[in-house]
């Protein structure tokens, strides 16, 4: 006897790109398109993200502090859900 498994919907997780921030900083939003629970993390002390988690489709706000130095800064924002990880 053979029994097929239930239909499984493939996991999806995409995040819309954002533009570079000016030296003045500011806030940008990014759309998350997903069918799984997801979490957001960043690797710098000059960027903050809200919310840091969600489920299914949503929007994250990315806030960059003003850069008072003459050196360009770079940060990585990582969104993970299920078996998928994507970075901005």
Taking only the tens place, the pLDDT of each residue in 5-40 is: 667 789 999 999 999 999 999 999 999 999 999 999
Say if residues 34 and 56 touch (Cβ distance below 8 Å). yes
Cβ atoms < 10 Å from Cβ of 77: 19
pTM greater than 0.95 = no
């Amino acid at each position: 006897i053979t029994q097929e498994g239930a239909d499984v919907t493939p996991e999806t997780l995409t995040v819309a790109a954002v533009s570079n921030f000016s030296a003045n900083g500011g806030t940008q939003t990014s759309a998350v398109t997903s069918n799984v629970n997801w979490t957001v993390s960043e690797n710098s002390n000059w960027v903050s993200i809200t919310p840091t988690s969600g489920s299914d489709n949503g929007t994250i706000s990315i806030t960059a502090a003003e850069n008072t130095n003459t050196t360009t800064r770079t940060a990585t924002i990582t969104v993970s859900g299920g078996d998928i990880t994507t970075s901005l």
